Amino acid sequence: MSKVRVVVAGPRGKMGSEALRMIEKQEDLELVACLDHKYEGRKVSDFEELPNLDAIFYSDINNCFQSVKADVLVDLTTPEFGYLHTKTAIHYGVRPVVGTTGFTEEQLQELTDLSEEKGVGVIIAPNFALGAVLMMQFAKWAAKYFPDVEIIEKHHDNKLDAPSGTAVKTAALIKEVRETKTQGHPEEKETISGARGADVDGMRIHSMRLPGLVAHQEVVFGSSGENLTIKHDSFHRESFMTGVKLAIDNVMKLDILVYGLENILE
Ligand SMILES: NC(=O)C1=CN([C@@H]2O[C@H](COP(=O)(O)OP(=O)(O)OC[C@H]3O[C@@H](n4cnc5c(N)ncnc54)[C@H](O)[C@@H]3O)[C@@H](O)[C@H]2O)C=CC1
Ligand SMILES: O=C(O)C1=N[C@H](C(=O)O)C[C@H](O)C1
């Protein structure tokens, strides 16, 4: 059986380095290159904190895909570069598995159209942790019966995007089953701007950023005389790696873009 040849973008990051450690342990995956805006030509093994792998760092994505044969690009970078990398990979016929969050709806639509036009499979998953995927599905189910809902997401203070991709995806899933409803008092007024959080279709998202946190979300439903809270915590980035592997395996069978890991779970 031939190995799936993987390029990782963002190898020195918190998620990218965890992905390298995961790939190193898999017999059916081979790390063939890394994409980083720094350290062109260096090997992964040159970095003490990274696994002992021979793959080379490339700074230019075109040079990378022209020099190395790759099947899958795993992108764990920033919203700006994640989007550019995904687009470029599709053009080269390299299947993107994207964990990077912060894409706009327009960017997601553009990537969906491009993937379909080129027949290149793509998986974009705002959260690779299986528990988080279940939390989102349970929240969607609960929203059918509890239309009053607020999402509280808590992350480490190095996070660039707010609200988190998971919170945005949770709101989108809830929106599929919940009638538009403005929550709170009809005449409520914020005396400090932002106090009620972001407004998505009348439901609220609150984003907390603190050192010490990893990735956490609570979806709180309210009804007369009762509350229901659905909560997920990622305490370590290893929690995302089962999903990254699952996405790499599945993207090889796809010729369209899939948004959300729930769409490939049985
Ligand atoms: N889908 C999921 O399950 C998860 C997604 N994320 C997302 O993954 C992304 C990365 O998160 P972290 O690892 O925590 O961030 P990080 O800041 O630790 O790592 C990002 C890395 O990207 C690199 N980078 C920046 N520009 C680049 C470029 N042009 N080319 C190549 N590399 C570049 C940086 O040098 C850095 O090493 C974020 O968008 C975050 O929201 C994070 C955790 C889980
Ligand atoms: O930046 C992070 O850390 C995370 N980002 C993703 C998001 O925006 O939802 C997934 C997870 O919450 C960790």
Q: Please report, for the domain that includes residue 116, its CATH number.
A: 3.40.50.720
Dihedral (C-alpha) 186, 187, 188, 190: value to the nearest 10 degrees? 130
CB of 159 closer than 6 A to ligand 2? yes
Pick the residue whose CA is nearest to atom 43 on ligand 1: 15
Residue 158 alpha carbon, nearest atom of ligand 2: 1
pLDDT number for residue 182:
87
Q: Are residues 115 and 24 in the same domain?
A: yes
65 annotated as ligand-binding: no
Pick the residue whose CA is nearest to atom 4 on ligand 2: 215
Q: Minimum-distance ligand to the CA of 163?
A: 2
Cis status of the peptide bond prior to 11, with omega within 30 of 0? no
pLDDT number for residue 11:
98
Q: Are residues 231 and 254 in the same domain?
A: no
- The answer to whether the complex's ipTM is over 0.95 is yes
Within a 10 A sphere around the Cβ of 18, how many other Cβ atoms?
18
Q: Are residues 147 and 173 in the same domain?
A: yes
15 annotated as ligand-binding: yes
Q: Are residues 28 and 134 in the same domain?
A: no
- Catalytic, 159? Answer yes
Q: Are residues 118 and 245 in the same domain?
A: yes
Q: How many domains does the chain have?
A: 2
Q: Which residues of the chain have pLDDT under 50?
A: none
pTM score, whole prediction? 0.96
What range defines the domain where residue 92 resides? 4-124+238-263
Q: Are residues 242 and 226 in the same domain?
A: no
Q: Are residues 144 and 214 in the same domain?
A: yes
pLDDT number for residue 104:
96
- What's the CA-to-centroid distance between 185 and ligand 2, angstroms? 31
pLDDT number for residue 266:
79
Q: Are residues 79 and 145 in the same domain?
A: no
**Under 8 Å between Cβ of 20 and 11:** yes
Q: What is the C-alpha separation between 77 and 14, in angstroms, rounded? A: 10
- The b/e string for 33-62 (b: 16+ C-beta within 10 A; e otherwise) is bbbbeebeeeebeebeebbebebbbbeebe
Q: Are residues 208 and 229 in the same domain?
A: yes
Q: Please report, for the domain that includes residue 174, its CATH number.
A: 3.30.360.10
Q: Are residues 134 and 57 in the same domain?
A: no
Q: Are residues 117 and 242 in the same domain?
A: yes
- Catalytic, 3? Answer no
Instruction: Indicate the pairing of strand 257-259 with strand 215-223.
Output: unpaired
11 annotated as ligand-binding: yes
Element (H, E) at 183: none
pLDDT number for residue 221:
98
- Residues whose beta carbon lies within 6 Å of some atom of ligand 1: 9-10, 12-16, 35-37, 76-78, 81, 99-102, 125-128, 158, 240
